C-alpha cells in the first residue's frame, strides 16, 4: 500500500510509542549492528542508535524513508522489502533484527523469515511484535459490513497468527524461540471523535480508494455508529488491538 507519512506521524504516533516498550528487549552493545525492519518514519530507529554502534533502517515505503532521513539523519536507511534484503549482500551482517508492527502486513512469511535468517549472524537475535489473531477484529468486521452493503468485499492484507502457528514457522525457518506470547492491548487512537475515521483512512486506504470522498465519509459514519457502543469511552476511541511478541535466535 502507499503510505501517507505525514498522516501516519500526525495521527498514528501510538505505533512508535508502543514500540518503545519493545526496546527494553534489545541489549545495549556498542559493538553490535542492528537492522530495523519496517522502520517507518524512524522514531524507533533513532532510539536503537543509542543501543548499538550501527543501525540500518529499511522500509518498503519511499515516503516513510524520506521522512526518516529528514527527521533522524543519523542511521543508514534503504527502501527495501523482505525480498530486497537478499540482493543487498548483507549475509550474516546483523547481530539483531528489530521489527515493530510490520510482520502482519506481509503475507509471504516464509520469504520474510528466510531473508531475516540470512542477514542475521549465527546466534543473532530477532526481536519483534505485530498483530496477533483477533487483532482489530471488531473494526475489521464493521468495515467489512459497510463495504458489503455497497456490494464490495474487504481486501484482507493482514496476517494475524496464533503463537503456536508462528512458533512453527520460526522453527521451520531455522530459529530457536526464546519467548513468544500474545496479549490484548486496547489502544487509544489520536484525534478524539475523528480518531477512528483517521485510522480507517490510513490502514484501509486501498479499499477506500474505490469510493468517492462523499461515500468514504458515509462509510466512516456507518463504522463509527456500529462501533461506538463497544469502542468509544466517552472521550476517545479504544481500538481492539491484540499483539504477538517474540524473541528468537538464529540457529
Q: How far is CA 30 from CA 244, 247, 250, in A?
A: 28, 20, 21
- Give the number of C-alpha atoms closer than 13 A to the C-alpha of residue 54, restricted to the C-beta side: 9
Q: How many domains does the chain have?
A: 1
Please compute the mean of the pLDDT values over residues 28-54 and round it to a whole number.
97
Which of 5-9, 17-21, 34-38, 68-72 is predicted least confidently?
Answer: 5-9
CA distance 239 to 80: 29
Backbone angles phi, psi at 2, to 5 degrees: -85, 130
Task: Quote the percentage of the chain above a pLDDT of 70.
Answer: 94
In this model, does residue 167 exceed pLDDT 80?
yes
Residue 103 is predicted with a pLDDT of: 97
Question: Strand order of the sheet with strand 94-100?
Answer: 76-79, 52-59, 29-37, 94-100, 120-131, 242-250, 175-184
* pLDDT (average), residues 145-172: 96
Across the chain, mean pLDDT equals 93
Answer whether 37's CB lies under 8 Å from 98's CB: yes
What pLDDT is recorded for position 15?
Answer: 56
CATH number assigned to the domain comprising residue 81 = 3.40.50.150
* pLDDT for the residue 7: 54
- The region of weakest confidence among 2-16, 48-62, 100-114 is 2-16
Q: Give the pLDDT confidence score for residue 20 in this predicted structure.
A: 84
pLDDT surpasses 80 at 160: yes
Helix (H, G, I), strand (E, B) or coil at 18: helix
Mean of pLDDT values over 224-231: 98
pLDDT of residue 17: 79
Helix (H) or strand (E) holding 58: strand 52-59
- What's the domain range around 159? 5-250
Check whether 12 has a pLDDT greater than 80.
no
Q: Give residue-wise pLDDT tens across range 191-226.
A: 999 999 999 999 999 999 999 999 999 999 999 999
What is the tens place of the pLDDT at every residue in 107-144?
999 999 999 999 999 999 999 999 999 999 999 999 99
Rg (CA), the chain: 18
Give the span between the Cα atoms of 224 and 230, in whole angstroms. Answer: 10
Amino acid at each position: 500500500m502507499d503510505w501517507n507519512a505525514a498522516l501516519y506521524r500526525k495521527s498514528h504516533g501510538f505505533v512508535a510509542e508502543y514500540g518503545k516498550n519493545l526496546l527494553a528487549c534489545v541489549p545495549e552493545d556498542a559493538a553490535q549492528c542492528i537492522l530495523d525492519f519496517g522502520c517507518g518514519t524512524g522514531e524507533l530507529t533513532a532510539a536503537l542508535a543509542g543501543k548499538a554502534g550501527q543501525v540500518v533502517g529499511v522500509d518498503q515505503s519511499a515516503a516513510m524513508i524520506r521522512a526518516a532521513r529528514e527527521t533522524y539523519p543519523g542511521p543508514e536507511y534503504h527502501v527495501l522489502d523482505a525480498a530486497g534484503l537478499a540482493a543487498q549482500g548483507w549475509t550474516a551482517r546483523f547481530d539483531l533484527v528489530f521489527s515493530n508492527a510490520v510482520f502482519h502486513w506481509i503475507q509471504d512469511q516464509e520469504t520474510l523469515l528466510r531473508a531475516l535468517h540470512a542477514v542475521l549472524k549465527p546466534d543473532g537475535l530477532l526481536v519483534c511484535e505485530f498483530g496477533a489473531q483477533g487483532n482489530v477484529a471488531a473494526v475489521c468486521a464493521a468495515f467489512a459490513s459497510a463495504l458489503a452493503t455497497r456490494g464490495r468485499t474487504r481486501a484482507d492484507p493482514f496476517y494475524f497468527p496464533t503463537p503456536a502457528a508462528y512458533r512453527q514457522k520460526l522453527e521451520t525457518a531455522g530459529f530457536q524461540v526464546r519467548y513468544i506470547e500474545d496479549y490484548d492491548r486496547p489502544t487509544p487512537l489520536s484525534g478524539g471523535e475523528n480518531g477512528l475515521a483517521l485510522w480507517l483512512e490510513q490502514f484501509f486506504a486501498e479499499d477506500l480508494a474505490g469510493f468517492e470522498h462523499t461515500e468514504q465519509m458515509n462509510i466512516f459514519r456507518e463504522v463509527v455508529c456500529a462501533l461506538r457502543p463497544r469502542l468509544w469511552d466517552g472521550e476517545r476511541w479504544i481500538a481492539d488491538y491484540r499483539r504477538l511478541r517474540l524473541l528468537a535466535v538464529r540457529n
